[in-house]
Amino acid sequence: MKAVVVTCQGGPETLEYVDVPEPVPADDELLVQVRAVGLNYHDIYNRAGVYAYEVPFVPGRELAGTVAAVGAAVRGYAVGDPVATADVPRPGAYVERVVVPADRVVPVPAGISLEVAAAVLLQGLTADYLCRLTYPVQPGDVAVVHAAAGGTGLLLTQMVKERGGRVIATVSTPDKVDLVRRMGAEEVICRSSEDFDKEVHRMTDGRGAAVVYDSIGRATFEQSLASLGRRGHLVLYGKSSGTVPSHDLHEFGYRGSLSVHVPMLPDYIASNEELTAASDRVFEQVQRGTLHVHIGGRFPLREARAAHEALESQRTKGKLLLMPRRG
């Protein structure tokens, strides 16, 4: 079967489309025929060496497909069942078939396509814990959402609005403004042309934001802090622009008793029960029509390099998918 392998950590050119052996599920695993792979910035970090991995390796954590074989000890799944996961172990998700522990897989409900499942699961779980647990958004809260036209940003914008929050979104280029507004942002700031912290204070009559959800890191961190009101919360859940420099923690107290959170998805879905409950919430919102999934591009698996280049370019909107051939 075919897979995409990172041959050495570096740029997109390190991704190779190669033949690999067919996997065989252990007793507690499922073999999944992959139909769609969700592309995430975490994949970029792994490929580039932000997170050190022993090479070669298959990247990717998120996929949807159908059960091709069931381990002897697994109950509740049958061949042909539609499933999804945001927690593919090594080897990763950029493959035609993969084995996954059964307790890290969730069923895909009727009425949700495998493409949508692959596009929404990991980033939907992320948006869910960000606005429900890390900082529980309350009605009337002003929330700044960075990279709001990206996969997580679009979902988070909708979830914050659903909870009664007021979203001030930031985007990298003006062509993304209309999409973000359609997803519920009350105000949209283009970071390339404006000091967004000053705009946030202007839009809130000087009060500042209750929370800033920041997936960008180094390039936005200082202005994100400056956007907050008294006792505000900065939720730093990504670092697409690089790692934030070290700070004196007491500084956050002097600037208004601010809090900085650095959450990670695995800690919010550590058990099968947590994973299942969170997935049910995300899928239920999709079924109800309150959470819209915007797929911004589909690439054949063999074109993983082009997909990575597109994601890193900041030109994309919504979620990118890799599409293995159908088996």
pLDDT tens for residues 69-78? 999 999 999 9
Question: What residue type is assigned to position 240 of the chain?
Answer: S
Structural domains for the chain: 2-121+269-323 (3.90.180.10), 139-262 (3.40.50.720)
Mean pLDDT for the stretch of residues 140-160: 97
Extract the tokens encoding 79.
């061949």
Mean pLDDT for the stretch of residues 110-135: 98
- What is the structure's pLDDT at 53? 85
Q: What is the pLDDT of residues 61-115, one digit of tens each?
A: 999 999 999 999 999 999 999 999 999 987 799 999 999 999 999 999 999 999 9
Place of tokens 């500084």: 251
User: What would you report as the CA-atom Rg of the chain, rounded to the nearest whole angstrom?
Assistant: 20
Whether a cis peptide bond, with omega within 30° of 0, leads into 324 is no
- What is the structure's pLDDT at 315? 83
- What is the structure's pLDDT at 203? 97
Is the pLDDT at 327 greater than 70? The verdict is no
Q: What is the pLDDT of residues 236-271, one digit of tens each?
A: 999 999 999 999 999 999 999 999 999 999 999 999
3 state SS for the chain:
CEEEEECCCCCHHHEEEEECCCCCCCCCEEEEEEEEEECCHHHHHHHHCCCCCCCCECCCCEEEEEEEEECCCCCCCCCCCEEEECCCCCCCCCECEEEEEHHHCEECCCCCCHHHHHHHHHHHHHHHHHHHHHCCCCCCCEEEECCCCEHHHHHHHHHHHHCCCEEEEEECCHHHHHHHHHCCCCEEEECCCCCHHHHHHHHCCCCCEEEEEECCCCCCHHHHHHHEEEEEEEEECCCCCCCCCCCCCHHHHHCCCCEEECCCHHHCCCCHHHHHHHHHHHHHHHHHCCCCCCEEEEEEHHHHHHHHHHHHCCCCCEEEEEECCCC
- pTM across the whole model: 0.94
